Amino acid sequence: MGLVGRDWRNEHRNPDETPVDKLNDAITKAASEVDWVNDYNTEPPAFVGLYAYTTFDDFDELEVVSQDGLVMVNLEWIGEGKDGDWQRDDPDDYPHLRFNVYRKFVEGDKIPQWVVDGDAFGDGEWMQMIDSSYCTRLDARTGRNQLLDAATILLTQVEEEAREYHSIKKLCERLSWIKVNGDGTIDWTP
């Protein structure tokens, strides 16, 4: 039995590092701080309990805005998992992303009270629409480009209703099923 260890922290550094790169760096750093023991005297497997040491505090929110600049959807990770909080030690759980829908206030807009919370908005200020924040089945560890595609799909689905200040609660409930399949396709069927 041999002890295998290696400092991977300074390998693969890049000033243009993406959030996925940061996550991979966090996993690599965690791996370098663990004493790996195995019978083959090789490097540790890519995934052996690393998520127990990994946090997603560095997950950068992803935002997409409509072409007219009035509607925005963002994806964020706030610690959610399959049954509430993400259970790092549960192999069947994964970190779920949440989406939120915002509408930019334009001076003179008449806003129905059931659509946004509050009534004191300045011209050009973003306001979160009521009942437009939902946990999804999107895994926070998914590649940034696929998450951008998913956020764009969410935006195209809510854009027209949000622009007109219509309630989007039922629509958002349906969209909360969104996920990236193993083949890279995106769907939101329950």
Average pLDDT over residues 91-104: 93
The 10s digit of each residue's pLDDT in 9-41 is 344 445 555 555 655 565 555 444 443 333 334
The two structure tokens encoding residue 175 = 């969209």
DSSP string for 93-111: --PEEEEEEEEE--TT---
| Domain boundaries, given as residue ranges, for the chain | 2-53, 62-187
- 43 vs 144, more confident: 144
The 10s digit of each residue's pLDDT in 68-81 is 999 999 999 998 98
What CA–CA distances, in Å, run from 172 to 46, 128, 188? 36, 13, 11
pTM of the model: 0.68
